[in-house]
Structure 1
């Protein structure tokens, strides 16, 4: 695609990157075939090709409008289009560039600003978020249905973690909302890794990965969170930690991008590159180990929801399914597994109507094989899907942990 950036756009820090991405797009439209919002709305401007055109217009000097902002906001950043694109267009990077330019030019309404600011601030205070969840559960009968659906269906507490005693050690990104919404996920991770001879080293100084800020109009603040985490992890990395494990695939996708996002930072570029090299989704860590002694005995039928951040961003589609089959679980077939569930980080809160439509479509597909439980690999997707009050949705590692605990040969 031919493009001529405006003088203002040429001064952007990522101008060359934007121009390169725009020129790589051949406008074929294959991306629309797998774009969730285009499938729902049928509007060219609510598909990747149309959004690329809108960003191109703005970068060439045409004024951005609230309508431009709306079409960019409606994008889930699921990156399904990148998997489909025959030209390898780096769509999500262009979207980040375009959103930043448009958000600077177009003031949001007060309610939108308040919602986005609130979400960003909650992400930086996991203890406060956990208390808010507990408060919400105590008065859930008084809450509107839409808000009640965001709370866990049942109270859950984190069970005990094993003491670190193995020579092999990994770091674990605790997350900002997962401890409040699914507190046993990280504890189950530590117990399963312990069985594999791997200890989890706590790094309480590390906080939110930065994705929430970065994707909600605060890219600079998101990068500051990345730098903060690098500083928090660095002593343990120097001491020999072999990986930085993420149990939420959305966080994992962002941490793996630290190297790219901070490549121009003279102070952090090399450290960010090392952190991205060490970043591993939990399924990568477990699947790389010998699992002969970890055969699970479970009579449950599972449906696997593969988050977009796992299959399209991290290119690990099918990895959870393959691991669970190795461990002896029975899985149902899930049609249209490539399509987004509508969670997309904070999307279910900023675009609730579209998110609900996508959620219900995804649940119909997941439940088509009549599973007992649906498992996911991302806390946002897990909470969003479970909020429908249909088939229970949990993190896959909790099912593995429970099955192992019930196996007499592994006790």
Structure 2
């Protein structure tokens, strides 16, 4: 694709990157075939090719508009298009660049600004988030249906978390909303790793990965959170911690991008690259471990929902399924497993109607094999799918923990 960036766009910090990505696109349209929003809406501008054109026009000097902003907002950033694209277009980074330019030029309505600011203030604060969840559970009958559905039901007992005692040590991102919505996930992870001779060491100064801010009109704030996490983890990495484990694939995908997003930061570039190299999804840690020695699976029928951030962003599609199959779990077939469930971080809150349609389509596919339970690898997907009140959804490590010998 030929480009002619405006003089103003050439001054952007990532202008050269944007130009390179745009030139990679051959506008073949293969991406639209696997784009969830294009499939729902049938609008060229609600598919990757159309969104690329919108960003190109703005970077070439066309005025940014609220209509263009809406089409970019509707993107899930599921990155399915990147898996499909034969030209290797780095779509998600172009989208980040385009969104930042358009959001700076087009003020949002007050209601949207308040919603986004509220999400940025609430979700990255685990203690506040957990407190509000408890209050919400108490007053569930008085809450609007959409809000009440987001509150967790019947959380499994967390159980004990082993103290560090092994020579092999890893860090673990505790997450923002996961401790409140699914507190057993990280505890189960620590128990499974402990049985394999790996201790999880705490890094209390680490917080939100930064993805939420970065994707809600506050990219600079998101990168500041990344720097704080690097500072919190660095002493442990220097002291022998072998990896930074993520149990939420959405967080993992963003941390693995630290090196790219901070490559122009003279202070943090090298450290960010090292952190990205050591950031591993839980399945990457367990894939080569002798789990069969400590686990004995049951014949319970399970459908696995592979999050977009695992299969399209981290390119780990099939990895969890391989581990679960190896352990003897009975996995059911899932049609169209490449499609997004509609969670996409805060998308289910900022674009609720589209998110509900995608969720129900995904559940229909997941339930087609009549599973007793659905497993996933991302707290956002888990919470979103559970909000329908249908087949229960758990993190896959909880199922493994449950069958520890």
The TM-score by the shorter chain falls in which range? Answer: over 0.9
Q: CA deviation at 1:288?
A: 1.9
Structure 1 CA distance for aligned equivalents of residues 138 and 291 of structure 2: 41
1:153 maps to: 153
2:60 maps to: 60
Moved over 6 A (4+): none
Q: CA deviation at 1:63?
A: 0.3
1:329 maps to: 329
Structure 2 CA distance for aligned equivalents of residues 288 and 94 of structure 1: 35
1:225 maps to: 225
Is structure 2 residue 194 aligned with structure 1 residue 194?
yes
2:73 maps to: 73
TM-score (norm 2): 0.99
Is structure 2 residue 401 aligned with structure 1 residue 392?
no
Q: Deviations over 1:138-193 (max 9, x none)?
A: 11111111001111122445321011100000000000000000001000000000
Instruction: Note if contact 1:332-1:369 (Cα within 8 Å) is conserved in structure 2.
Output: yes
1:313 maps to: 313
Over the residues paired in the alignment, what is the CA RMSD in angstroms? 0.8
Q: Deviations over 1:213-232 (max 9, x none)?
A: 00000000000000000000
Instruction: Note if contact 1:295-1:328 (Cα within 8 Å) is conserved in structure 2.
Output: no
SS at match of 2:280: strand
Structure 1 segments unaligned to the other structure (5+ residues): 405-409
Structure 1 CA distance for aligned equivalents of residues 31 and 398 of structure 2: 35
Moved more, 77-86 or 142-151: 142-151
Structure 2 CA distance for aligned equivalents of residues 207 and 163 of structure 1: 21
Instruction: Note if contact 2:297-2:400 (Cα within 8 Å) is conserved in structure 1.
Output: no
Structure 2 CA distance for aligned equivalents of residues 53 and 170 of structure 1: 43
Structure 1 CA distance for aligned equivalents of residues 118 and 206 of structure 2: 20
Equivalent residues in 2 for 1:362-381 (5 A)?
362-381=362-381
The number of residue pairs the alignment matches comes to 405
Structure 2 CA distance for aligned equivalents of residues 130 and 158 of structure 1: 15
Equivalent residues in 2 for 1:87-126 (5 A)?
87-126=87-126
Is structure 2 residue 262 aligned with structure 1 residue 240?
no
TM-score (norm 1): 0.98
1:215 maps to: 215
1:407 maps to: none
2:16 maps to: 16
Structure 2 CA distance for aligned equivalents of residues 169 and 249 of structure 1: 20
Structure 2 CA distance for aligned equivalents of residues 401 and 85 of structure 1: 37
Instruction: Note if contact 2:246-2:282 (Cα within 8 Å) is conserved in structure 1.
Output: yes
Is structure 2 residue 61 aligned with structure 1 residue 27?
no
Q: Deviations over 1:257-278 (max 9, x none)?
A: 0000000100001100110010
Structure 2 CA distance for aligned equivalents of residues 14 and 351 of structure 1: 28
Instruction: Note if contact 1:294-1:327 (Cα within 8 Å) is conserved in structure 2.
Output: no
Structure 1 CA distance for aligned equivalents of residues 115 and 72 of structure 2: 17
Instruction: Note if contact 1:24-1:88 (Cα within 8 Å) is conserved in structure 2.
Output: yes
Q: Deviations over 1:78-111 (max 9, x none)?
A: 0000000000000000000000000000000001
Structure 2 CA distance for aligned equivalents of residues 164 and 316 of structure 1: 28
1:290 maps to: 290
Q: Deviations over 1:258-310 (max 9, x none)?
A: 00000010000110011001000001101121233134231310000000000
1:141 maps to: 141
Structure 2 segments unaligned to the other structure (5+ residues): none
